[in-house]
C-alpha cells in the first residue's frame, strides 16, 4: 500500500469533529438575548389579548341579558345573578331559557366569575357586568373591565 492510500483509509483526527466549548457558549448567549428580547413582547401581547376577549365576552353576555329582558320585562336582580340565564328564577313569568348554550356560568379569561349587579352602581347603566381582570380581585376602577 502506498502512502497516499494509507492516508485515505485513516480516520479523521478528533480535533476536526464536533463544536468547541466557545462556539456552544456563543450560540447560548445569542439564544439568551433573543429570548430576553422576544419573551416580554409576547407576554404583553397575551395580556392584551385576554383583555380583548374579556371585553368581547362582556358584550356577548350583555346581548344575552337584553334577550332575557325582552322575555321577562326586567334584567335579573343581583341576587338572581347570571344564574338566571341558565336556571329559571321563581318570579320570571315569560322566561324562555336557558339563554346560554351550556349549563355552566361563563368565566372571564382568567377563570374568575363575572361580577353582575342590577341595578347598576354606575350612573346611566341598567346593570353592571364586570371582570376583575388579571388580579382576580379588587374594586371598581382598579383594573376592572366593565360593560360600556
Q: Is residue 78 within 8 Å of residue 116, measured between CB atoms?
A: yes
Report the distance separating Cα 148 and Cα 54, nearest Å: 12
Q: 146: part of which helix (H) or strand (E)?
A: strand 145-146
Summarize pLDDT for 3-51 with one digit per residue, the tens.
556 555 665 555 567 889 998 999 999 998 888 888 887 777 776 788 8
61: closest CA among 18, 105, 91, 12?
105
Confidence at residue 3, expressed as pLDDT on a 0 to 100 scale: 56
pLDDT band at 129 (very low <50, low <70, confident <90, very high): very high
- Asked if the model's pLDDT at residue 141 lies above 80, the reply is no
Can you say whether the dihedral through the CA atoms of 81, 133, 63, 97 is positive or negative? Answer: negative
- Asked if the model's pLDDT at residue 63 lies above 60, the reply is yes
Confidence at residue 1, expressed as pLDDT on a 0 to 100 scale: 57
Q: Is residue 65 within 8 Å of residue 76, measured between CB atoms?
A: yes
Residue ranges and CATH numbers for the domains of the chain are 41-146 (3.30.700.10)
Q: What is the pTM of this model?
A: 0.65
Q: Is residue 53 within 8 Å of residue 110, measured between CB atoms?
A: no
Q: Is residue 146 within 8 Å of residue 133, measured between CB atoms?
A: no
- Asked if the model's pLDDT at residue 140 lies above 60, the reply is no
Amino acid at each position: 500500500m502506498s502512502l497516499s492510500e494509507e492516508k485515505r483509509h485513516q480516520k479523521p483526527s478528533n480535533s476536526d469533529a464536533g463544536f468547541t466549548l466557545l462556539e456552544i457558549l456563543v450560540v447560548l448567549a445569542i439564544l439568551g438575548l433573543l429570548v430576553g428580547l422576544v419573551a416580554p413582547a409576547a407576554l404583553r401581547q397575551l395580556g392584551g389579548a385576554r383583555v380583548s376577549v374579556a371585553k368581547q365576552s362582556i358584550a356577548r353576555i350583555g346581548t344575552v341579558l337584553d334577550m332575557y329582558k325582552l322575555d321577562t320585562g326586567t334584567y335579573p336582580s343581583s341576587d338572581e345573578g347570571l344564574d338566571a340565564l341558565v336556571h329559571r328564577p321563581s318570579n320570571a313569568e315569560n322566561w324562555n331559557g336557558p339563554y346560554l348554550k351550556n349549563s355552566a356560568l361563563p368565566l372571564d379569561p382568567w377563570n374568575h366569575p363575572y361580577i353582575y349587579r342590577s341595578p347598576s352602581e354606575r350612573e346611566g347603566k341598567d346593570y353592571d357586568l364586570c371582570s376583575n381582570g388579571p388580579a382576580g380581585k379588587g374594586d371598581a376602577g382598579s383594573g376592572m373591565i366593565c360593560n360600556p
